[in-house]
Chains A and B, each alone.
Chain A
Amino acid sequence: QKEVEQDPGPLSVPEGAIVSLNCTYSNSAFQYFMWYRQYSRKGPELLMYTYSSGNKEDGRFTAQVDKSSKYISLFIRDSQPSDSATYLCAMSKYGNKLVFGAGTILRVKS
């Protein structure tokens, strides 16, 4: 079993839709949870960062962490074609050595 599971997609949605991206994990020691966006042939760019359980909102993006279920989510409201990218969840015990999910390819169609 992988430490972090993420559906690779692709996930196709129309412009303006609400997107829900998810990851599950098996290591209960993870405390830091991140979402990265990666465009083709580029390095990952940090979108959201959360410590422990709870919600965090930043503009159109909302990150949720449910440690009891070992489940994290990223919601994107009013999705735009420019949101089309691969979204990687990542997590760690101490905030440095990250374990990544496989990444979900998102396509937002105009």
Chain B
Amino acid sequence: GAVVSQHPSRVICKSGTSVKIECRSLDFQATTMFWYRQFPKKSLMLMATSNEGSKATYEQGVEKDKFLINHASLTLSTLTVTSAHPEDSSFYICSALAGGPFSSGANVLTFGAGSRLTVL
């Protein structure tokens, strides 16, 4: 089945630095990827939708200048947390969708294993 690889799985950084998280679809091409954020014992909150070759669509309340998303190829999307602060500490999870966003039937989302960011 479809596999999504996310790297790094865990990162610790100092406040004020930027951190990049990669999301790769290993055996399929993903025209659309989604980035989620999950707080402890809370559900996944969609941050943005990343479409290959175009700008990401951000959910309400998500700062696009803070969370930079680049989907430069059909197998790679990156999330960069710029000038990270302790409140950005969270579990970030990407998911990938094969095919077009409005294909008939179900395009099942496959999730990466997540990246835990800790900002000191």
Contacts and interface: CB of A to CB of B under 8 A. Distances in A.
Contacts of A96: 32, 34, 97, 101-102, 107, 109
Contacts of A8: 41
Given A42-B113, A96-B97, A101 B107 contact: no
Given A43-B114, A94-B101, A96-B101, A49 B108 contact: yes
A101 B43 contact: yes
A25 to B, nearest CB: 13
Given A94-B102, A96-B101, A46 B43 contact: no
Contacts, number: 64
A100 B113 contact: no
Interface string A78-110: 000000000010000011111111110100000
B100 to A, nearest CB: 9
Main secondary structure of the interface of A (DSSP, over half): loop
Interface of B: 4, 6, 32, 34, 41-46, 49, 91, 93, 95, 97, 101-103, 105-114, 116
